[in-house]
A and B are shown apart, each in its own frame.
Chain A
Amino acid sequence: MIEVTCNDRLGSKVRVKVNGDDTIGDLKKVLSAQIGIKAEKIRLQKSNIIYKDHITLDDYEIHDGDGLELYYN
């Protein structure tokens, strides 16, 4: 179980608990449930690397406590 922080620099800093083998898309779903924004509208980045939905967190080497950037499409 990994805890990932999503910060959108607008005042919302969300900590999401996910599994390591979850995909980014799953993460987005959980995130959207927490924030209240549709999953399709969310974009997760790490300094101009846009994370794609079909790749797992493990493949992106996202570990516990990592922070991601949250943007809206």
Chain B
Amino acid sequence: MKESGKNSEFSIEETNKIRISLGLEPLKIEKKTSAPLTTEKEKVPNGDASNDIKDTINQLKKKRESRPVGKSIAEQLLENGEDEEDDISNWVSKSREKEMKKNEEKKKNFRSSLNKKKDDHYSQKNLKGLKVGNDLKNFEEDSETILTLQDTNVLDEDSEDVLVNINIAERERREKQIQDSKKQSKYDKFDEYGNNKYSLLNQDNEDDEKKKSGFSLGDNGVIESNESLRDQAKKNLDYLASYDMDSTTSSSILSSFYTQEEMEQFKTRAQNKKSSSSSGVEKKKKRIRKKNTADDILQSLDATTSSDLGSRKTRITEKERKEQENNFKREENYQKALDKASEISKLTYSADIFEEAEDEDFYKTLSTSKKAPISNKNIVDIVNKKKQQQQQQQQQEEEDGTNNLEEITINPTTEFVRSLNPEGIISNYKSDITTSKIDIDEEMEETEENQQNKKHDNNDDDNSDSDQDDESNSNEENNDKYKTITSITEEPLVASSMAATLKLLAQKGDLQPQLPSGTNTKKRGINYDDIESTIIEHKDEFGRVLSRKEAFVKMSQIFHGKKSGKNKLEKRKKEYEEELKRMKMDSSDTPLGMVKSFQSFQEKTSSPYLVLSSSNNNNNEANINNNLIFLNNLYTNNANSNNSKSNNNNNNNNNNNNNKGKKK
């Protein structure tokens, strides 16, 4: 077993012993057979490769053999021409010959081409069958138009030559665009049996139409059209001219009245049936039930058969009659409206009378009052009477009620407090009411009462005492007492000092009593009425007393059912925690409790010192681990391992603060 410090290495047998003791299998010992990977790559399939190689080898060989060994290409070429004598002169002659030949050939070609040109004279006849892309109608008569060959796709195999005039083509295109933009649908709604070509689906298919425009040139390049314009014009003229007044045609002069025949259109099926069934000869049959027969209608319509001969004077056209009727109606309505209005107006006018009638009482009183004399005396008497009444009331009050002529202020808080049970735990209420027991010795009691009263009502005016005394039985004793109380206390000289002025003011009661703790206390309870006895303490969720503002906020939140937002709440929590911390703070220690922790450390290590160092090694992690181990050993109760380890680790670097932070 090797050991160098802590570096231990066990041999195989030792490890096996350990393994068996642990219950593990013994070590598996393998022979190290290093399997090199290189042998695999060399396994090339020999069969195919070798054949190819052989072939190439053979080819190369052949090439070598074909070439004469040791000779360059130039030499080889030269070998061919060794038969001739003088190279240059031969070459010159040869080249001349070649040139001659070429020239002859050229000439031949030229002649032949010339001949061909004569034959290929391009004439009007050659234009036979050429197509022209524009419509014949677009061409003007007796004017020349230049046609050019229309562009075709290179890849179109079956394209024929089409001649086109650019201007006309443009015009045609423009017209087509306009036509299309008008969006005239060729769909005929009413054509039931119409061409399927013009159905809605096929409206936009224009392929069929494209091919139709144009014409083709005939023999000698002359246009052949089925009908020339002139012929067409002629035809039109003939047609117009052929109109004959005398000739009887199916069409008749239109009249504004239906003819009898046309009236038959309006016959219903039922009528026809009836007429046809009853009498085959007569077409029209009078229905008994129906009043207006066709004849009647006819008669009424036809001007010639009407009875009205039409004199102007007596003629009252229907229009006029209608107008008259309307006017009459209008006037009637107008009258009605007028009547209505007058009635309503009468009502309104008479309302005044009604009002007056209702207010009869008023007017009566008015009149009576007018009649009645206005005497000052009466009013004065009334007022005096009232005054007297008031005075009496006051006197009564004075007799019954309080001793003080002071203003009696009633606070809701004081009333509430008064209503509370004075013997209860909560109340601060000090009862100023003296319970007077009436004994036999009235004097004694009264004196006692007086004394008590005077003691309590120290700040009252002297007058109150005097009144009270007047009512009491014995005056002398009271006077004595009275005298003592009315003795004026010495006023301190204000000029001497500040304290004196304060004293004076306190005596007078002008100074407000100061709280003993001073302005530091925001968090004492709320004194709603500036009276000591009515301090209400509102508490928040932590139990702290709320200031006035905070209490208001809390109450309003409850009232409206709204809470502060998340941030606010967290803030408050933090504040509370900090406050707690602050409270926990020890005056004799740092906020983190350094002294305490150091003391505990000292106890455990029983060493008076603490090693502080920080290392800038890369082993910071290791250091931290060291410290962790150290702490672990500190706080756990592994005595044996601790001793050994702690000795070790004490010598290592320690950063106590770091540990504390991490551990906690």
Chain A interfacial positions (CB closer than 8 Å to B): 1, 9-20, 22, 26, 29-30, 33-35, 37, 71-73
Contacts and interface: CB of A to CB of B under 8 A. Distances in A.
Contacts of B7: 12-15
A26 B521 CA distance: 69
In the complex, which of the residues B10, B25, B29 has the most CB atoms of chain A within 10 Å of its own CB atom?
A: B10
A41 to B, nearest CB: 9
A14 B24 contact: no
Interface of B: 5-10, 12, 15, 18-19, 21-22, 24-25, 27-30, 619, 622, 625-626, 629, 632, 641, 648, 652
A37 B632 CA distance: 14
12 contacts: A9-B622, A10-B6, A10-B626, A13-B6, A17-B12, A19-B28, A26-B22, A26-B24, A29-B22, A30-B24, A33-B22, A35-B8
B641 A19 contact: no
A35 B6 contact: yes
B22 A14 contact: no
Contact of A1 (B6, B18, B28, B622): B28
B641 A37 contact: yes
B630 to A, nearest CB: 10
Contact of B8 (A1, A26, A34, A71): A34
A34 B19 CA distance: 11
Contacts of B25: 19
CB-based closest 9 A-B pairs: A12-B6, A15-B9, A9-B622, A13-B7, A1-B27, A33-B18, A17-B15, A29-B22, A11-B6
B27 A16 contact: no
Contacts of A15: 7-10
A19 B22 contact: no
Contacts of B28: 1, 19-20
Contacts of A9: 619, 622, 625
A29 B21 CA distance: 10
A28 B10 CA distance: 14
B24 A22 contact: yes
A18 B219 CA distance: 111
Given A9-B622, A16-B10, 10 more contacts: A1-B12, A1-B28, A11-B6, A12-B7, A14-B9, A15-B8, A17-B10, A20-B28, A33-B18, A34-B10
A13 to B, nearest CB: 4
